[in-house]
Amino acid sequence: MKAYHLFIFSLFLAFSLSSCKTIRQGTVGVKRTLGKIDNKNLQAGARLYNPFVSRIITVPVRTQNLEVNLDLPSKEGLNVKAEISILYHVEQSKATSIIGNIGQDYESIVILPVFRAAAADVTAQFMAKDMHTGNRLGIENEIKDKMMKLLGDRGFMIEAVLMKSIQLPPGLYQAIEEKLQAEQEAQRMEFVLQKERQEANRRKIEAEGISDANRIISEGLTPEIIQYKTIEAYRELSSSPNAKLIIGSGNQPIIMNP
């Protein structure tokens, strides 16, 4: 009798444990009973259910990182190998709708196909080198916007599309490096030319200043002023204690030391 009671208790305990589902933080529970989805989400915590007729499916609503490796087409018809991360999350209010209409494998059914189509549409408008240079951010944002137009109403929030690595076709790296070197050399030469132009302008301004000064001086040297300056020079010489012999006509004196 005791063995029978122990057996019944064991069955009850096993049934109780199998009919309890723990929903963790960052997820919501979707209850399916006899194939029908309950419209109400189950929040975090322990939930009891009948395992014979019901099932609780947990759906992550925190940020998910979906990494994809694929070949992206470029405007010139090249294939660019890329490693891309898609950051997204499921809207909590749409979890039951997603499970009911799409299923648990929504990443491979919806997100990945939409991403591949959006990425191909966007990158086909850009040259291969643009994916490797400063246009990468613009490409990422365009892919994200296209995905949101198709997935936003279905309960998926695309947070970011990140191009982690880009592998250009052979030979294109060298062409990009040569172009960058040529651009740097052109910038260096432009700097040298600009410096030379500035120096030429400085010399021109200096020469114009000297010419203007000489012109002003020559215009101001009238015979009367020259005679006046000569008289002043005679006066200063006459006041000097040193003996001197001055010979001149009043215009250009000749000074001789005895």
Q: Which pLDDT value is given to residue 155? A: 92
Q: Which pLDDT value is given to residue 19? A: 67
User: Rounded to the nearest 5 degrees, what angle is found at the Cα of 216, between the Cα atoms of 213 and 219?
Assistant: 145
Cβ neighbours for 209, distance < 8 A, ≥ 6 positions apart: none
Sole residue written with tokens 């109780």: 16
Phi, psi dihedral angles at 137 (to 5 degrees):
-60, -40
- Looking at domain 64-173, its CATH class is alpha beta
Below-50 pLDDT ranges, the chain: 4, 7, 9, 11-17, 254-256, 258
Considering the chain, tell me which residue range(s) the CATH 3.30.479.30 domain(s) occupy. 64-173
Q: How many CA atoms lie within 13 A of 112 on its CB side?
A: 11
Q: Which pLDDT value is given to residue 16? A: 47
Q: How many CA atoms lie within 13 A of 120 on its CB side?
A: 11
Residues 176 and 184: their CA atoms lie apart, in Å, by 12
Residue (of 159, 41, 21, 25) closest to 99 by Cα position = 41
Q: Which pLDDT value is given to residue 30? A: 86
Residues 190 and 183: their CA atoms lie apart, in Å, by 10
Q: Is the pTM of this model over 0.85?
A: no
Q: Which pLDDT value is given to residue 11? A: 47
Q: Which pLDDT value is given to residue 196? A: 81
Q: Which pLDDT value is given to residue 204? A: 81
Q: Which pLDDT value is given to residue 12? A: 47
Beta strand 54-60 pairing with 79-90: unpaired
Residues in the chain: 258
Are 66 and 147 a contacting pair, CB within 8 Å? no
